[in-house]
Structure 1
């Protein structure tokens, strides 16, 4: 996010160049020469941006025209107060944009970012952090705007030149310094969380381990293929034991699901993972299971290589985990009647067809 704001500033910076040129030339050759130089630079910028980037930069045009209007009025009336007010008026517009972006649903700065940085994608978390930064900028630059107005009326030209020019960029540096420190602190917290987070193996579609990644990275839409185990528990009549997921689960809360399902930890083989998950979820141990199938399951958030096991050893089941709200056997007819009604997880509905086929044969 910090680098994105730096890129945005680089895109907007050309709009301020006519003002820089005017201040430099005005100090040496006077206001008229400064205005002519600003007009020439602004025109060259417009042509250059048009040829190189194939776009018309309204910000450069606006800054150049406002500079000429206020400077021209100052010359005609022989009073430089109008020109001195120009930086404050521009900054007042900036503060208005910051206020709307920071305190309303319309984030103008965010929209400008997407326009100038077409490859940038801003998620909700980044947008919230951007709004926090915009609130800080609004407070700082509102104070600076009032100071520029005060300097225009009551301070010397030298003091006004520093306050409206140099001080403005010093404050910009302060804002980006604060943002840099915030960014570093945030990155440190993320790194600490990643260091403490469970690591999952990354596999190819044959199940061979090709790397590892934090659990969160496997569930954030990157679609990193990682292995999971599912255990279906059947009785002699072919009924299937299902567990009900608690309502506090982020994924498929309150729905009936496979008896046992969980991730294979990094460095753990599939069979060891199956025994661990069976004990953790339904208190089942000392059972024998057969691998029925392995397949790739993909959802909006993740991509899993699922190892499907089946067991008929159900007598040792004892629910003892907060991860499971309830468990019971469902007959084939009960399952069929409730399919597609949002009672079962999509993953179980996919696998139950496999179970039915196995029972039929």
Structure 2
């Protein structure tokens, strides 16, 4: 789905320009996204298998919930909207723990360039997998995987069919989830 988004400079600052998402991807213009990683208190992480019709990385496993931030949209509002759309879950804003903003550059083709700043959050998941409602057009499947298995599989991203984010990004995610788990026990 195409939508109007804010355009950023290479340092993540607003440029006071907007464009359609398709135009930003075609021209390699920086823009904002949200990433929300859900984890369970018994040490599992929720992964989303991207839809088979996605332009990039179809059917690869990825962050629990992700999406573009609309032009002028509040980052938290965007995160809550994406969570509800993609997995049918409504949570309170105070359940989101922001762990950083990560710059990501992927040149998929000459007409498709993802130049993004991921506003990244963690949130505890208190429902079972069966209680989540996946968005059919975006999400092929959902699964919970033990953190130690996830960490081990990140050693061979392509074999386990994960989206090829920077390994430093994945390392930050696993480290921060582990911290949350340590303080919750």
After TM superposition, the score normalised by the length of structure 1 is 0.43
Structure 2 CA distance for aligned equivalents of residues 315 and 276 of structure 1: 18
Structure 1 CA distance for aligned equivalents of residues 74 and 62 of structure 2: 23
The alignment's C-alpha RMSD in Å is: 2.2
The answer to whether the Cα contact below 8 Å between 1:207 and 1:305 also exists between their aligned partners in 2 is no
C-alpha distance after superposition, 1:37-62 (max 9, x if no partner): xxxxxxxxxxxxxxxxxxxxxxxxxx
**Is 1:294 aligned with 2:101?**
yes
Larger relative helix fraction: 1
Q: Which runs of 5+ in 1 are unaligned?
A: 1-195
**Is 1:356 aligned with 2:174?**
yes
Structure 2 CA distance for aligned equivalents of residues 299 and 214 of structure 1: 18
- Give the count of matched residue pairs: 165
Structure 1 CA distance for aligned equivalents of residues 70 and 101 of structure 2: 17
Structure 2 CA distance for aligned equivalents of residues 225 and 247 of structure 1: 25
Question: Where does residue 54 of structure 2 map in the other structure?
Answer: 249
Q: Which runs of 5+ in 2 are unaligned?
A: 108-112, 180-185
Would the alpha carbon gap of residues 234 and 360 (structure 1) be closer, same or farther in structure 2, given more than 3 Å must change? closer
| Poorly superposed stretches of 4+, deviation over 6 Å | none
For residue 237 of structure 1, report the CA deviation from its aligned partner: 2.6
**Is 1:321 aligned with 2:145?**
no
**Is 1:236 aligned with 2:54?**
no
Superposed, 1:65-76 pairs within 5 Å as: none
Question: Where does residue 272 of structure 1 map in the other structure?
Answer: 77
After TM superposition, the score normalised by the length of structure 2 is 0.80
Larger relative strand fraction: 2
Structure 2 CA distance for aligned equivalents of residues 325 and 345 of structure 1: 14
**Is 1:309 aligned with 2:127?**
no
Please give the secondary structure, in 2, of the residue aligned with 1:267: coil
Would the alpha carbon gap of residues 348 and 249 (structure 1) be closer, same or farther in structure 2, given more than 3 Å must change? farther
Structure 2 CA distance for aligned equivalents of residues 306 and 216 of structure 1: 18
For residue 238 of structure 1, report the CA deviation from its aligned partner: 2.8
